Structure 1
Amino acid sequence: MRVASSTLYQQGLASMNLQQSSLLHIQQQLGTGRKVLTPSDDPVAATRALTISQASAVNGQYATSRAQANVALGAEENTLSTVTTVTQNIQTLLVQAGNGTLSDVDRASLATALQGQYDQLLGLANADDGNGQFLFGGTNSGSAPFVQGGGNVQYVGNTEQQQFQVDVSRQMAAGSNGREVFQSVQGSAGYVLKGNSANTGTATYGQVSTTDPSNPLYGTALTLTFDDSSGKMQYTIKDPSGTAVGGTPLDYNDPGQISAAGVTFTVKGTPKNGDTISIEPANQAGTDMFANLKSVIDALNKPTTTDADTANLSNTIATSIRQFSNSLDNVLTVRASVGSRMQELDALDTIGTNRGLSYSETLSSVQDLDYASAITEYYQRQTALQGAQQSFMQIQGMNLFKYL
């Protein structure tokens, strides 16, 4: 059989090209550190590597979301810490205002101090994160959530919360809206007593305490009304429908301990016919910190000229002390929630880091190069290429013209 010279050349060239291609492939593997350079190298491994890379990228995005949520919660915690201090300062001033030896001038000075706390509290309610995003506006974070108008403060944000996807199946609120911080109380806050500014007697009340939360009327708003039409001072407690609680009127003694709907409080002084005291659940007795503080500031700025004025002022201060005690409990509860979420983020960060390491190890096992094997193969391919080249040179020398 005769073999054409062109065939020998083609076979030699094909062999060298094949060995050169194999050597180039292993060189690329050594240069990149990857054993799978194209999907055709190992379709199964390439698919697994793509899946793992996508999962790792998503895990990284969760980590970014957690970092953003942590920054937002940290800013809120810092602000709430100051809100706590301001609320405690207000409580201290209210206790001072309850001193019966103060003059109108002294009370006006305390009103001025409380006004300063009011302004500071409003500034904190409109605090931002340093980037122009207000902390307590809900999802409407582009504008101040609390605005003043007509002497009152109104909340113009919304009650929604900004949510961050911090893990596969966990969305987390990265903030609190202003209403739940500055205009709410906890469900366990109990009752608040409120006097009537139209009262003409000198009856004052102390703090209310819960004695029987299982009482059927517990949580119902009640009204205590004094009446001396029978020739002696008596009182009746009625529910919102006007039905008397306990039936017939009860005699009033100074001081007198009054119990109704599972709560007890003390009243002392001399009430007048028609004077009333409201007994309201905390969530119905004024939960707005700004409105409550403005009410007591106005009362302190008003001179007292009669014993009835003094009694009404004392009742206003007692009510404010209870309201701000409830507000402080609410702020502390929100702070606890923020701290709990930050703690959860730390735990999720640990889980995410471990998950990321697992992804990296799995991806490495799928696509990373075994350098020892690759170097060995490199030298094998290099030797094979040299052999192909030498063989081609030998075949090229097989020519009859050489023997002429």
Structure 2
Amino acid sequence: MTRITTAYAFSSSVENLQQRQAELVRAQEQMTSGKRVLKASDDPTAAARAERARAMEQRADATTRAIDASRNSMTLTESALSDAGELVQQARELIVAAGNASYSDAERADTANQIAAIRKQLLAVANRGDGTGGYVFSGQGSSQAPFIDQPGGVGYTGSGGATQVASDEQLPLTLDGNETWLAAPTGNGVFTTSSNSASAWIDAGRVTSPAAITGSAYQIQFTVANGATTYSVIKDGSTAVLSDQPYTSGQAIQVDGMALSVSGTPGQGDSFDIQPSTPSASIFSVLDKVVAELKTPSRSAAQTTQTVQSGLRDIDSVANHLQSTRSMTGELLKRIDSVQGRVDDLKLYGKTTESNAEDLDMAQAISDFSNKQTGYSAALQTYASMQKLSLFNYING
């Protein structure tokens, strides 16, 4: 038989009262914070799961900042390429106008000045800043404008390549300016034609059989004898591919998978060169060449026609190259949006995991708080009743 002393009864009641009070306070703290797990000791497993989820969210936030930087940079790049495309189109229209047979030397020189002004605007676009002290087309970074106008033409002073964001996602911050502005394919993309004639011109040519393309250099040489004009095609400076062929203005000359048309009246010793295309065409060098030729006075109609045809060929090549780069930038922006979606999903997953691990079910918490409040009130009443059960109260009663 266990003896329960008055002191033990009082001590047990006080201990029970304090425990219920602590539970009530903890329930109040949970309801106030909205968290079921306030410290790791409340639920070590849930606390660890929530901590991992928070780390996931922090990584997602860092990636989001990197994505925003890449998106801003590529948006600026796309805008610059759009502006460049419009300027190139304006220059093309002026080159077409310069081919007007009624133009005088002064009018062609005026057209050349307009093209030169467009060229300056294009240089400003190529050197456009990114708003943070850098440059859109600086490649791997440069503290100075990446393009410099020098006596030999526009040169690239930036660092080759491209800069990417510092995150797990491979997203660009810059583009290679040299590749964008100075590396379009020359000619028609397979070969390029040029002329030394003052009375005839050659078109851009076309490929008739890709498998037959040799990549060699050719020269079409003209001979005028007894009123008859013939031509020969020499390969690599020594091998005659065609010899003494009769010439007809505008008729295609076909050789090794290529078709070219020479028009006009070639003179004795006139020649037309065919060189393999290289990725070295610059919008600036193309316009510089056109401007220089249009400003040259007393040129023949054939020479002007050659300038216009070659200029249109080259500017179209550069325009297509810029458009391809712009399309690539658009694809990058699309990819950035896709990455952003994945990161948002990852962050949402982290928040959901964190919430499931430590957040409070408010409805259940209110019910539990009500029960604890009732229990605490009952404990208070019990304690008050026990105070009246002492031996002294009994004797005094």
TM-score normalised per structure 1: 0.86
Q: Within the alignment, does 1:301 sit opposite 2:295 as a pair?
A: yes
Does structure 1 residue 215 correspond to structure 2 residue 208? no
User: Structure 2 CA distance, aligned partners of 1:39 and 1:346?
Assistant: 37
Q: Distance in 2 between matches of 1:78 and 1:282?
A: 29
- Select 1:237's aligned residue among 230, 233, 239: 233
Percent identical among aligned pairs is 24
Aligned runs of 1:355-374 on 2, under 5 Å?
355-374=346-365
Deviation for aligned residue 1:5? 6.0
**More moved, 127-136 vs 319-328:** 127-136
Q: Report the equivalent of 1:253.
A: 247
Report if the CA contact (8 A) 2:199-2:266 is conserved. yes
* Whole-Å separation in 2 of the counterparts to 1:5 and 1:148: 102
Give the Cα separation in 2 of the matches to 1:330 and 1:371. 61
1:229 deviates by 9.3
Evaluate the alpha carbon distance shift between residue 152 and residue 216 of structure 1 in structure 2; reply closer, same or farther with a 3 A threshold.
closer
> Which has the larger displacement, 220-229 or 39-48?
220-229
Is 2:284 the partner of 1:283? no
Match of 2:219 among 218, 221, 224: 224
2 CA distance for matches of 1:259 and 1:268?
15
Given that residues 207 and 318 in structure 1 are in contact (C-alpha distance below 8 angstroms), is that contact kept between their aligned partners in structure 2?
Answer: yes
Moved more, 288-297 or 131-140: 131-140
Return the letter of the residue paired with 2:291: I
Indicate conservation of the 8 Å contact 2:219/2:235, yes or no.
Answer: no
Alignment of 1:139-154 (within 5 A): 139-150=140-151, 152-154=153-155
Aligned length: 391
Structure 1 residue 327: deviation in Å? 0.6
Could you give the per-residue CA deviations for residues 244-277 of structure 1, whole angstroms, max 9, x where no partner exists? 262x524241414212232211112343454332
Could you report, residue by residue, the CA deviation over 1:36-71 in whole angstroms, capped at 9, with x for unpaired residues?
Answer: 111222222112112222222322333333232222
2:164–2:172 CA contact under 8 A, matched in 1: yes
Q: Unpaired runs of 5+ in structure 2?
A: none
Indicate conservation of the 8 Å contact 2:171/2:336, yes or no: no
Map of 1:203 onto structure 2: 200
Write the letter of the residue equivalent to 2:18: N
Aligned to 2:260: 265
Measured after TM superposition, the shift of residue 13 of structure 1 is 3.4
Determine which of 378, 381, 387 is the counterpart of 2:378: 387
Deviation at 1:110, TM superposition (A): 1.0
Deviation at 1:92, TM superposition (A): 1.1
Alignment of 1:4-403 (within 5 A): 7-150=8-151, 152-164=153-165, 170-185=169-184, 189-196=189-196, 199=197, 201-217=198-214, 220-226=215-221, 228=223, 234-240=230-236, 242-244=237-239, 246=241, 249-255=243-249, 256-283=251-278, 286-304=280-298, 307=300, 310-402=301-393, 403=395
Q: Is the 8 A contact 2:35 2:360 kept in 1?
A: yes
Secondary structure of 1:92 counterpart: helix
Higher mean C-alpha deviation, range 338-347 or range 205-214:
338-347
Kept in 1: contact 2:126–2:147 (CA 8 A): yes
What's the CA shift for 1:315? Answer: 2.4
Mean CA deviation greater in 29-38 or 373-382 = 373-382
Question: 2:129, 2:240 → 1: CA distance?
Answer: 49
Shift of 1:4: 6.4
Tell me if the contact between 1:135 and 1:177 (Cα under 8 Å) persists in the aligned partners. Answer: no
CA deviations 1:106-152 (Å, max 9, x no partner) are 11111111111111111111112334321111121432111112252
Shift of 1:341: 1.9
> What value does the CA root-mean-square deviation take over the aligned residues?
2.8
State the Cα deviation string for residues 293-343 of structure 1 (Å, max 9, x = none): 1111111111126x4xx5444323322211101011111111111112222
In the TM superposition, residue 216 of structure 1 has moved relative to its aligned partner by 4.1
Q: Return the letter of the residue paired with 2:283.
A: M
1:153-182 alpha-carbon deviations (Å, 9 max, x no partner): 11111222222367x6x4122442222221
1:172 partner amino acid: L
Matched to 2:337, the amino acid is D
Give the Cα–Cα distance (whole angstroms) in 2 for the partners of residues 312 and 118 of structure 1. 22
Shift of 1:281: 3.5
Secondary structure of 1:315's counterpart equals: helix
